[in-house]
């Protein structure tokens, strides 16, 4: 109600209001601004579930090569494997690190790329969103327009995104099933379907959630949740970690020609 004789402040432009409210900065279209370099500081890349400290496979490194303890990021701390799939998971773990795709510098896949111990950068426009990962120079484009189908299965899959309020929801299909979820051997098949949710809690923290569905491996869908932190140091950026050369001996050492007489 306008009080007679009292001057009223002009209404703020709608776009300015959109920038001023919510958790963290906004794009010019009012959507949350997710731009920046982000990183998980969890131990999820070691094991998605609760795990105790343990000696690593390289005893020469002593405590440096030990596996750290960690709290799980799986809802209920249970991954609902089918019996045969659980046996495969156990085989994967027994053959770590030689069989881990991460050790071979393969693309990390989704959702593992999010919580590896490397930063990743979100480049957001008013149209689509690009995510660039430091590990193996992996990247993916999140299509924010009309959903598209995966042309073929790939390590990073095909991502279609949309906004639900202030939450970015990304539907990921077309994954090739060759990646693991962690160094504990948790895995899925090429039937994997992942739905991610990114919600910026504050300027410095973003909540990440991924729902995992693969009826050929699991008895039901299951979920992981963890926070992501915005790198705040001056000139924060992702650097190069083109790790192929570090994996050559692991991948091809057995094919080296042996000197005569050996």
Q: pLDDT tens digits, residue range 72-122?
A: 999 999 999 999 999 999 999 999 999 999 999 999 999 999 999 999 999
pLDDT band at 21 (very low <50, low <70, confident <90, very high): very low
pLDDT at 59: 87
* pTM of the entire predicted model: 0.88
Question: Residue 255: what pLDDT?
Answer: 84
Going by C-alpha positions, the residue among 63, 42, 60 that lies closest to residue 51 is 42
The residues, ordered by sequence, that sit 6+ positions from 28 with a Cβ below 8 Å of its Cβ are: 15, 19, 126
| Cross-strand bridge partners of residue 142 | 129, 159
Detail the DSSP E strand segments found in 105-187: 120-124, 129-133, 139-143, 158-164, 167-173
- Containing 14, the helix (H) or strand (E) segment is helix 14-20
First to last CA, the chain: 95
Of the CA atoms within 13 Å of residue 198, those in its CB half-sphere come to 23
Three-state SS string over 26-52 comes to ECCCCCECCCEEEECCCCCCCCCCCEC
Q: Which is more confident, 181 or 58?
A: 181
CA atoms within 13 A on the CB side of 225: 5
pLDDT in tens, 143-183: 999 999 999 999 999 999 999 999 999 999 999 999 999 99
Average pLDDT, the chain: 91
**Structure-model confidence comparison of residues 1 and 44, the more confident one:** 44
Cα separation, 186 vs 72, in Å, equals 13
The answer to whether residue 4 scores a pLDDT higher than 50 is: no
The β-bridge relationship of strands 139-143 and 158-164 is: parallel
Residues 6 or more apart from 30 whose CB is under 8 A from it? 15, 18, 19
């Amino acid at each position: 109600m306008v009080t007679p004789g009292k001057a009223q402040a002009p209404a703020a432009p709608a776009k300015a209001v959109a920038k001023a409210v919510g958790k963290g900065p906004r794009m010019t279209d009012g959507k949350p601004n997710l731009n920046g370099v982000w990183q998980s500081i969890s131990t999820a890349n070691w094991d998605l579930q609760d795990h105790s400290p343990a000696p690593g496979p390289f005893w020469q490194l002593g405590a440096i090569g030990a596996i750290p303890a960690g709290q799980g990021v799986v809802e209920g701390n249970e991954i609902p494997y089918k019996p045969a799939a659980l046996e495969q998971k156990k085989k994967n773990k027994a053959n770590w690190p030689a069989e881990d795709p991460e050790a071979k510098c393969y693309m990390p896949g989704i959702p593992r790329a999010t919580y590896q111990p490397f930063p990743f950068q979100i480049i957001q426009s008013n149209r689509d969103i690009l995510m660039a990962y430091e590990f193996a120079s992996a990247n993916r484009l999140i299509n924010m327009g009309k959903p598209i189908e995966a042309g073929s299965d790939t390590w990073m899959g095909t991502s279609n995104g949309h906004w639900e309020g202030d939450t970015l929801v990304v539907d990921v299909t077309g994954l090739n099933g060759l990646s693991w979820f962690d160094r504990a051997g948790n895995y899925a098949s090429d039937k994997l379907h992942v739905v991610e949710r990114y919600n910026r809690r504050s300027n410095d923290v973003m909540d990440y959630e991924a729902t995992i569905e693969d009826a050929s491996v699991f008895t039901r869908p299951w979920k992981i949740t963890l926070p992501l932190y915005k790198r705040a140091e001056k000139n924060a950026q992702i650097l190069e970690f083109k790790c192929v050369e570090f994996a050559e001996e692991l991948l091809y050492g057995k094919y080296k020609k042996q000197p005569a007489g050996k």
